[in-house]
Amino acid sequence: MRVILLGPPGSGKGTQGDLLEKKYGFPKVSTGDLLRREVQEGTPLGKKAEVKMNRGELVSDDLAVAMIKKRIFASDCKEGYIIDGFPRNIAQAQKLEKIDKKDLEIVFDIRLRDQTVIERLSARRICSSCGAIYNLLLQSPKEDEACDMCGSKLIQRRDDTSEVIKERLIIYHEQTEPLVDYYKKKGVYYRIEGEEKIEIIFHNIYSILDRELTKSMEARLVR
């Protein structure tokens, strides 16, 4: 099973991915997190990606595909996985289908107005150590500036500044949004209202996912 979380930056893909991972046990795979780790560790790949990431641009398809390929072929992804941040364009979507065909693929597109994206990203903080996500407006930490899980310092992502947010939105509309039609044509697309509360969004997603998982299990029994 493959779940793909689509949507603009700040729509809550990471948060919903974490909740889905907890509920279903399939790992969340985030290309953004994987790339940020490479940057933090100062690897050659991280150095290559950092400049583009700081500008809010996409890293090359080859780099993004290489990252995802390595991760989804790990043993914990055998039964299924939840992707946040990939694909970002049609070429990546086609590549993903080639490298890993899945019987069941479901795409949740978490929709958000641009103005909400700007407000949310400006208030987003992440843990400098474990990567946990907070939002000073929606999901604030118990203590200012410290992670509830591990106590490490919360930081603002370098690409969550207003200039870079604008650039990321342009790229989202130009390159990532065409995936809506792409997945609609495949018949695997579900639109989710992202302006709702986190729990409501989660409920809307897992109700569909439960239904689709049951259908797929029944179809397998009949075969």
Q: Active-site residue numbers?
A: 13, 88, 124, 157, 168
Based on CB atoms, which residue is closest to ligand AMP, 52 or 213?
Answer: 52
Based on CB atoms, which residue is closest to ligand AMP, 86 or 134?
Answer: 86
Q: Does the footprint of ligand AMP cover residue 58 (CB under 6 A)?
A: yes
Q: Which residues pair with 191 in a beta bridge?
A: 109
Spatial neighbors of 84 by CB under 8 A, at least 6 apart, are 5, 13, 14, 17, 28, 29, 30, 31, 32, 33
Instruction: Determine which helix (DSSP H) or strand (DSSP E) holds 66, and give its type and residue range.
Output: helix 61-72
**3-state secondary structure at position 106:** strand
Contact (CB, 8 A) for 147 and 133: no
Q: Does the footprint of ligand AMP cover residue 35 (CB under 6 A)?
A: yes
Contact (CB, 8 A) for 201 and 194: yes
DSSP state of 129: T
User: What is the distance between the alpha carbons of residues 84 and 104, in angstroms, rounded to a whole number?
Assistant: 17
Q: What are phi and psi of 190, to 5 degrees?
A: -130, 130
* Beta strand ranges found along the chain (DSSP E): 2-6, 28-30, 81-84, 105-111, 124-127, 133-135, 154-155, 189-193
For ligand AMP, the binding residues in 15-34 under the rule CB under 6 A are 31-32
Which segment (54-62, 125-133, 189-197, 207-215) binds ligand AMP by CB under 6 A?
54-62
Which segment (17-25, 55-63, 94-102, 127-135) binds ligand AMP by CB under 6 A?
55-63
Among 17, 27, 85, 194, binds ligand AMP (CB under 6 A): 85
Q: Does the footprint of ligand AMP cover residue 8 (CB under 6 A)?
A: no
Which segment (80-88, 95-103, 133-141, 191-199) binds ligand AMP by CB under 6 A?
80-88
For ligand AMP, the binding residues in 89-148 under the rule CB under 6 A are 92
Among 53, 107, 117, 179, binds ligand AMP (CB under 6 A): 53
Among 5, 20, 64, 121, binds ligand AMP (CB under 6 A): 64
Task: Please identify the residue of the shown chain whose CB is closest to the bound ligand AMP.
Answer: 32
Q: What are phi and psi of 192, to 5 degrees?
A: -125, 135
In angstroms, give the least distance from the CB of 13 to ligand AMP: 7
| Residues binding ligand AMP (CB under 6 A) | 9, 31-32, 35, 52-53, 56-59, 64, 85-86, 88, 92, 159, 168
